[in-house]
Chain A
């Protein structure tokens, strides 16, 4: 736990929606406001090095945008991003990508994240060659040791991506990320495209790599059981904001935000026996037209008038925990838990 790997201060990201000509015209006459997708709003996060931060949320919660900001692929619209103490959001694209090379993204879909027309050897060595992390005459040993570190035989290096199964491809994808000696791996849904029996293999590999190479992980998933298994600390996101944050065990045992409570209650575990579902109602709002006040209030079973009018701040609550809910703030969680259960 030496120092911070990442610090995000009030980071927001909006994506403009391509407009039709008619919309351009009407906005000239002041009829409608330019529309934007609010992918991420005012997110502040700290990640210590060596830590595993889990980020959980459903579609549209901004977790993939967050991953891409942390990997240096997307620039925030507002806010500051520090990577290992260096401010990176103000750098130009080139410098930003180079400065953030030690923070690598691992993609969800291994079938599309490897170029189908390159041999595995090329895929694994080209980034390292570009950044002088290996020499051309050492490529063979370099590739072999990478493959070995993800549990694949060196003989696969001459083959193409379509010759492998999903689990093997995800190993190769991991090896490619490792090829630039990263200190941080940002894993965007690392196992959700894989079969159940293969998921465990990749999760074990992730844990093993972390201890062996002392990596920092940011694990992004919709799957609570994956997050719970890997993470030290968890941030729950809803509609572009962090609504709850805290140590994994405490957060899952005693969730405070009504949304986290619903997620924990409704994530289905195979240990459970038959049960009756008690879903929260309503759909996830579109990130184009955000609800007023607390983003969760239209679906919240315990919302009060204040939730509609005023957005709750993410406030500290208990040791290392933060939650953004008026009700928790008002009366240390008693009210919320009573309301739901």
Chain B
């Protein structure tokens, strides 16, 4: 009865895909997410207005409610903000910036965290102790707090917020990568590779990496959503992106002042966009994690 329990499988096997198509929630969530990504990518071409081009803005059109007509007769689907900027265009471009920040920071954090995590699990000893203590300390402090402090020191700017997000995120990857590496290290194929005289780097990237990757991809998805939300939080708090690059968080923040006037749309629609993005991404990640777990059982 021992044979079938531990059959490892390829990362994206046919039955994983089949399971995906049979899960309604996963399909819808993935579809919504992909749709939003496509919208964000196509923003320069499909948005009715370039929100960065001040010459296209008309202050007389400021704070129009959804579906209201502007001074030149254009209809603003989702209304406008205090500068007369079309909210729909602003959201598309904001989505673009939010996704860009999240992709760059998550991928970099994945690379750094995974490398350090595998190294830590392989080498053990003092390196492991030091790295894991750093991870523990950082995990015990809320991510928002760490990044707030960093940004307070570094100042604002897209590069700085990416740096702050990487600093927060790599620990999650490092911890998962180390745990997975420890499991793999106990298997004989690693010892076999050592006995053939393979270099440490080769064992790390060629033998171990493909086997520790699946759980890391789940973490990557969750962290991607986390990065989007965290960036929005920071921008909302006013330490994130500068006003010249308005992400979703910043849009919500600027609209916040007008909420009490009943001008809900400036905050609400970017908020809904943010929610949809993060929520659907988490649903996909959750499905992926569950199906990986059930296959391992």
Residues of A within 8 A of B (CB): 68, 71-73, 94, 97-98, 101, 104-105, 107-109, 111-118, 126-127, 130-131, 160-162, 165-166, 176, 180, 193
Contacts and interface: CB of A to CB of B under 8 A. Distances in A.
B8 A113 contact: no
B194 A107 contact: no
Contact of B196 (A101, A109, A114, A166): A101
Contacts of B245: none
A142 to B, nearest CB: 15
Contact of A115 (B11, B194, B207): B207
B6 interface: yes
Given A113-B187, A115-B189, A165-B3, A101 B197 contact: yes
A54 B36 CA distance: 66
A127 B194 CA distance: 10
Nearest to A68: B191
Contacts of A111: 2-3, 6
A73 B195 contact: yes
A109 B188 contact: yes
Contact of A97 (B6, B187, B188, B195): B195
Nearest to A131: B197
B195 A104 contact: yes
B8 A162 contact: yes
Given A108-B188, A112-B6, A117-B8, 10 more contacts: A71-B195, A73-B194, A101-B196, A111-B3, A113-B187, A115-B210, A116-B8, A131-B197, A161-B8, A166-B3
B234 to A, nearest CB: 38
B195 A160 contact: no
A126 B192 CA distance: 12
B242 to A, nearest CB: 44
Contact of B211 (A71, A115, A130, A165): A115
Interface in B1-22: 2-3, 6-11
Nearest to B210: A117
Contacts of B7: 162
B67 interface: no
B204 to A, nearest CB: 13
A108 B11 CA distance: 26
B189 A94 contact: no
Contacts of B6: 111-112
Contacts of A114: 189
Contacts of A176: 192
B96 to A, nearest CB: 35
A130 B197 contact: yes
Given A111-B3, A165-B3, A130 B196 contact: yes
A162 B9 contact: yes
Most buried by B among A68, A97, A112, A130: A112
A98 B210 contact: no
Contacts of A68: 191
B192 to A, nearest CB: 6
A193 B195 contact: no
A117 B188 contact: no
Nearest to B189: A115
A117 B191 contact: no
The 6 closest A-B pairs by CB, nearest first: A116-B8, A113-B188, A127-B196, A117-B210, A112-B187, A107-B188
Contacts of B35: none
Interface string B108-136: 00000000000000000000000000000
A180 B198 CA distance: 13
20 contacts: A73-B194, A94-B197, A98-B197, A104-B195, A105-B192, A107-B188, A108-B188, A111-B3, A112-B188, A113-B192, A115-B193, A115-B211, A116-B8, A117-B211, A118-B210, A131-B196, A131-B197, A161-B8, A162-B8, A176-B192
Contacts of B196: 97, 101, 126-127, 130-131, 180
Most buried by A among B2, B3, B210: B3
Contacts of A126: 196, 198
A126 B203 CA distance: 12
Nearest to A99: B197
Given A109-B188, A111-B3, A115-B189, A130 B198 contact: yes
A102 B61 CA distance: 82
Contacts of B191: 68, 73, 105, 107, 113
Contacts of A162: 7-9
Contacts of A101: 196-197
A185 to B, nearest CB: 12
